[in-house]
Amino acid sequence: MTQRELDVRHVAHDLPSHAAPGEVLAVRLELENTGSETWHASSPRGDHVGLAVHWNGTVVANHVLPRAQVRPGERVVLFFALEVPLAAGSQRLELKLVRYQVAVFCDRGADWLSHVIEVGAQAPERNARLWAGLQRCDPWHYIPTRGLAHLRDGTPLPVFIERAQGCHLWDVSGRRYLDYTMGWGSVLLGYAHPEVRAALERASASGPTLAFPQPVEIEVAERLCEDFPGAEMVCFAKNGSDACTFAARMARQFTGKRTILFSGYHGWQDFWVEQVGFERTGVAPRDPAQIFRFPFHDLDSFRALYEQHRGDLAAVFVEPSPWAGDGLGFEPDSDPLFLRTLARMVREAGALFVVDEIVTGYRYPEKSAQAAKGVQADLTCLGKAIASGSPLAAVVGRADIFKSALPRAFYAATFHAEAHSLAAARASIDVYRREPVAAHVWDYGTRLRAGIEALVQQLGVEAQMWGPPFRMNLRFTRSDAALVRVERTLLQQELLRAGVTTLAGGIMLPCYAHDEATLRTTLEAWGAALQTIARAAQRGNWDELLEIPLLVDG
């Protein structure tokens, strides 16, 4: 195979000559395309261009280009995290721009950037030791800084969290953060809520998993049936993906049909991700396909799919206020007429209407989006907040569906009725029933969103707040996707600098523990972050300001 070298000039870099063992560095590398070919960040043929990172002759990482293409004569700045080896002494780093093809690493270029870093002999810091272990054997976590433990001015960044209380986190350096990630939105009451913690302590005196049913399982099932419209029976699970998958199986068994239409995110398991594609999931697509997406609040698109598939329609899944994806964040709160129209049409086709309330359950003052919108599902998927941080999910719905379909929808989860999580759920639900949890979250979120919107307008940032009060984000509105990614990353960085943790560049889920003091602190942090973004937009010095690696779009 003929190999053409990539013509590239290394314009500048900020690699140090000395580093601590295991330290994670933020590296800025500026390259110029001095050849005649355009570099592409992705390609259907797999011959895209990327940066290969070698330590002492061994490839340890590959990084994609930060924008779709780099034309001849253009420059590009790559900003990435670099893990320094733990071993002391001279370590040779080599960086090379390469062209990949069909998943084969091709050594096509001759212009290496070779650099020696002297690694100190001191014992690695705790963050560095933990990070090395994480990368070696368990790297699948949310770490927005890619292991970078501090900014250039020494400000700590959260990599590993030591403890959590209320709406605050403490990292291993002892720094406290005001948190809005809230356990991926599962912790509605706040971390280590006193009543939930006490329930878990009492439950810990007994074994959590038995082959026989325990009373707490029935007590939680009864509460869920009382709190969600149309719920007559319950099946428990460990996460929302379990619940959605089981609901899909029951719908197909009950109706004898196979096709599912959906709007929203319904988990990582095979029934849902087969529509995403084999390349991204490892799940083989069906031919013909059996699951199809329609845009949120788009009845015309739904009707088109509905008419095409109604003869084999098993179910329609809808998530109130779903995730829009592609870095956009969340859709607005659902329109009652939209949900009611879906429910009517689905039932006219003899299919099941499934409402995914994994996020919205107990986040409405009426306990559910269904009750708030005046609609009733045949099956409802629950998770996240029902146990306020403990691993529990559930499917609730009509008794006739459960009695008919459950015995034929194979489900054999060992830990589905694990009693410690059920004890946490019982305590959490009792708090939701007794105290104005959802009302507080809506009020707090409404004021938080309004405060950020005012800052955006005041500073002239091209963005707008999106999503309902209980789950929101800032959506940058520029047409340049690469620059939007930079803006999101800079927002995340500056919020972390101020001690506020969010998801993926500004996604926030308020909880019951957020109060007036945290609202003031949050708006101060957002004000400082947005000022930095506004100044960067005026000066165009984005690359100079970034200190953490670019966020991954999703």
pLDDT at 109: 43
DSSP letter at 540 equals -
CA distances (Å), origin 120, targets 20, 80, 87, 124, 329:
5, 22, 8, 9, 43
Helices (H), 291-416: 299-309, 336-348, 369-373, 399-405
DSSP helix/strand/coil, 162: strand
CA neighbor of 269 nearest in space, from 381, 403, 424: 381
Secondary structure element (H or E) that encloses residue 133, with its range: helix 126-137
CB atoms < 10 A from the CB of 383, how many? 28
CA 342/CA 549 separation, integer angstroms: 42
Structure confidence by residue, pLDDT tens digits, 89-133: 999 999 988 887 533 333 444 456 889 999 999 998 888 888 888
3-state secondary structure (DSSP) of residue 212? coil
* Domain range 8-128, its CATH number among 2.60.40.10, 3.40.50.150, 2.40.160.50, 3.90.1150.10: 2.60.40.10
Identify any residues that bridge with 13 across adjacent strands, giving them in sequence order. 29
Q: Which tops the pLDDT comparison, 411 or 46?
A: 411
Q: CA–CA separation, 243 vs 237, rounded Å?
A: 6
Tokens of 495: 């919020």
Exposed e or buried b for every residue in 508-519, given b needs 16+ CB within 10 A?
A: bbbbbbbeeebb
Query: How far is the first Cα of the chain from the last one, in angstroms, to the nearest whole number?
Result: 36
Mean pLDDT across 382-392: 96
468-507 pLDDT tens trace? 999 999 999 998 888 998 999 999 999 999 999 999 888 9
The CATH code that applies to domain 194-434 is: 3.40.640.10
Q: List the chain domain ranges.
A: 8-128, 141-179+438-545, 194-434
Q: State the pLDDT at residue 102.
A: 36
The amino acid present at 274, given as its one-letter code, is E
Cis-peptide, bond into residue 124, ω within 30° of zero: no
Q: What is the DSSP letter of 485?
A: H
In one-letter notation, the amino acid at residue 68 is A
> What separation in angstroms does the CA of 198 have from each of 65, 193, 201, 376, 428?
50, 8, 5, 34, 11
Q: CA dist 185 to 69, 121, 169, 224, Å?
A: 36, 42, 15, 19
pLDDT at 5: 55
DSSP helix/strand/coil, 531 = helix
Of 515 and 125, the one with more pLDDT: 515
d(CA 223, CA 430): 9
pLDDT of residue 128: 86
Q: What is the pTM of this model?
A: 0.91
Whole-number pLDDT of residue 107 = 43
What confidence tens digit (pLDDT) does each residue in 288-336 have?
A: 889 999 999 999 999 999 999 999 999 999 999 887 665 566 788 889 9
Given a contact cutoff of 8 angstroms between Cβ atoms, the answer to whether 321 and 333 are in contact is yes
Q: What is the mean pLDDT of residues 350-379?
A: 97
Q: What residues contact residue 211 under an 8 Å CB cut-off, 6+ apart?
A: none
Per-residue pLDDT at 103: 38
Classify domain 141-179+438-545 by CATH architecture. Answer: Alpha-Beta Complex (3.90)
Q: Is the pLDDT of residue 358 over 60?
A: yes
Q: Is residue 237 a contact partner of residue 267, using CB atoms and an 8 Å limit?
A: no
Residue 241: what pLDDT? 94
Question: What is the tens place of the pLDDT at every residue in 147-198?
Answer: 899 998 999 999 999 999 999 999 999 999 999 999 999 999 999 999 999 9
Q: Token pair for residue 120? A: 């100190």
Q: The tokens 């809005």 sit on which residue?
A: 180
Q: Is the pLDDT of residue 2 over 80?
A: no
- Which of 180, 316, 177 lies closest to 260, judged by CA? 316
Tell me the average pLDDT across 382-409: 96
pLDDT of residue 4 exceeding 60, the answer is no
Percent of the chain whose pLDDT exceeds 70: 95
Q: What is the pLDDT of residue 328?
A: 62
